[in-house]
Amino acid sequence: MPELPSNTGLNVELTDMLGKKYWTKLVAGNSLELGLGDFPSGIYLLTLFNEQYFATKRIVLEK
């Protein structure tokens, strides 16, 4: 992912493959800790976006 200025806010969403939204947050800064310990096994999509940037990463959670 490209380096973004530290004062740039990003919307972060975690959804499953059916589009169910599990988590959403506005993040300002360059780090994010996402605890997935309570989530069931499955494939999730982590989407980060703002006016100038959009990226989606796939997360495979196996327990």
Q: Taking phi first (over 0 means left), then psi (-120 to 50 degrees means alpha), and beta for anything else, what does residue 19 get?
A: left
Tokens of 23: 């988590």
Q: Residue 48's pLDDT is what? A: 92
pLDDT at 1 exceeding the cut of 60 = no
3-state secondary structure of 17: coil
pLDDT digits (tens, 9 = 90+) for 2-49: 566 666 789 999 999 999 999 999 988 777 888 898 999 999 999 999
Q: Residue 3's pLDDT is what? A: 64
Q: Which CATH architecture has domain 9-61?
A: Sandwich (2.60)
Q: How confident is the model at residue 59 (pLDDT cuts 50, 70, 90)?
A: very high
DSSP one-letter string for 22-60: EEEEEEESS------TTSPSEEEEEEEE-SS-EEEEEEE
